[in-house]
Amino acid sequence: MDSGSDAPPLTPAGRRIVDAAEELFYERGITAVGVDLIAERSGVTKRTLYNRFGSKDSLVAACLAERDRRWRAEVRAVVDASGSAEEAVTAPFEALRSWTSAYTRGCAFLNALAELPDPRHPGHRVAADQKRWLRDLFEELATAAGCRGPSALATRLFVLHEGAVATEPLALGSVTAAGDLARELVRAASRG
């Protein structure tokens, strides 16, 4: 999935609905939030919500796609600002550092995957695509940096990244520790 880039631009009411729903889903959980609350919080009628999104499932997917768009932009900005190809490989960990300072309730995509286990659910598909994108990005960056075994390294970095984001709410310094370990892994894979 292209993180919602093929969706039509949101109207002001559609933007309010997505913003309210995304906040509520993240704070309370997807299954715990009903469309009545989303409509109330966004200042629209349920009819407007359904006219724009068709279903709660489609709204969930739209919210996750919007979050995915922001996350990818954040990661790409840090990758682009990296001083070297080797540094770029661990850029997603640097992006995660700033991201988790704003989002303290864990990963919305991991949460969605846990709440929406059916792979046919549109929200599940967005969350799974986001995870595949990140793993593939690690491989792309590792290949560009000339790292040995870029596919295996990408999988290790991805697992490390996901573990950091999942445990960061415990205030253990997981993101910092994972970033340090990621740099060690990349240095080891870069030695000739």
pTM of the model: 0.90
Residue 35 contacts by C-beta under 8 Å, 6 or more apart in sequence? 46, 49, 50, 56, 59
- pLDDT on residue 103: 64
- pLDDT on residue 85: 95
- pLDDT on residue 4: 43
Which positions of the chain have pLDDT values less than 70?
1-8, 103-104, 192
